[in-house]
Amino acid sequence: MLELNKENFDQEVLEAEGYVFVDFWSQGCEPCKALMPDVHKLAEVYGDKVKFTSLDTTKARRLAIKQKVLGLPTLAIYKDGSKVDEVTKDDATIPNIEAMIKKYY
């Protein structure tokens, strides 16, 4: 999983070609941290077709708001720089996340 920040987000996500998965999380988000090991496993399974990245929103709050991330956890898929799908908050379960990835895999 590629760690995103304010400096590399545009280049790695918005200017990237193809599919990019972004895990928006924060240190204070317990559900985010609970999902993380399983999300890393999904990255191992699907990482050859989808670029997996994560962004700690604590360090990039304005960026998260600009991307319309209003609650955590939020896991999104971008295609050629545009957000095409996301699961958020209570819907952010591993089966839902995997189903979303499979739609674009």
CA distances from 77 to 24, 28, 67 (A): 11, 23, 12
Please tell me the distance from the alpha carbon of residue 70 to that of residue 90, in angstroms, as a whole number.
13
| Token output for 34 | 């609970």
- What amino acid positions are annotated as catalytic residues? 29, 32
CA distances from 11 to 1, 36, 55, 83, 90 (A): 15, 23, 13, 15, 30
